[in-house]
Each structure stands twice: as C-alpha cells, then as structure tokens.
C-alpha cells in the first residue's frame, strides 16, 4: 500500500463508517493521545519502567498504526498530499544533512 493508497483508504472508511472527520483540533488532540500511548509502551519495553497489568495488552504495531491513521486523517482534512510532502521532506533532509551525521563523532 502506498501513502496515497493509505490516504484514500482512510477517506473511504471515514465516508462509509465514520460519518465525517472529527475536527482538525480534535484529531490533533487524538494524535497527541496516541503518541502518549506509544510512549508508554516504549518506556516499559525499552526503558526502565515496568509494565502495569493494564499495559500488558498494549500492542506496539497497533499503537503505531493508530498514530498513522490519525496523521492520515489530518492530512486528508487539511488537503496535504503526504506522498509529495514526504518526498520533499527527504530532499530537504538530504540537502541539509548529507554530511552532518557522517561527521558527528557521537554516532561513531
């Protein structure tokens, strides 16, 4: 599935099952909530915190997909073509950082 396909799939789902998109501000709050859920899993899986019983059913791939879903919703409702935006972002990073990380002693 391409990014464009994903944006179209989300839009189709919203139109068939979701009635309408939540407002942009609501989706931003939901995105923040979902990132918090990812942070909880990361802190307990790769950090020093231990899992609570309620955390054991959390699923890293599912939480990442939740974040992607809301991000795709925000892109759709604000008219952002994420394929184009991502391509431009890679070009920007390549131009800006092509030597930066190679010369970073901390990364060796």
Domain annotation for the chain: domains and CATH numbers? 3-81 (1.10.287.1080)
Residue in the structure block whose two tokens are 């019983």: 53
- Predicted TM-score (pTM) of this structure: 0.88
Give the model confidence (pLDDT) of 22-34 as tens digits. Answer: 999 999 999 999 9
For residue range 75-96, list pLDDT tens digits in order: 999 999 999 999 999 999 999 9
pLDDT at 51: 83
Q: Please state the φ and ψ torsions of residue 19, each to the nearest 5 degrees.
A: 70, -60
């Amino acid at each position: 599935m391409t990014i464009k396909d994903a944006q179209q799939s989300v839009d189709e789902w919203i139109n068939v099952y979701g009635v309408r998109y939540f407002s942009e501000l609501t989706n931003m709050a939901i995105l923040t909530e979902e990132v918090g859920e990812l942070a909880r899993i990361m802190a307990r899986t790769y950090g020093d915190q231990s899992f609570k019983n309620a955390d054991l059913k959390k699923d890293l791939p599912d939480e990442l997909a939740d974040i992607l879903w809301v991000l795709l919703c925000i892109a759709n409702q604000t008219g952002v073509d994420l394929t184009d935006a991502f391509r431009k972002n890679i070009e920007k990073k390549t131009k800006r950082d092509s030597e930066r990380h190679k010369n970073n002693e901390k990364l060796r």
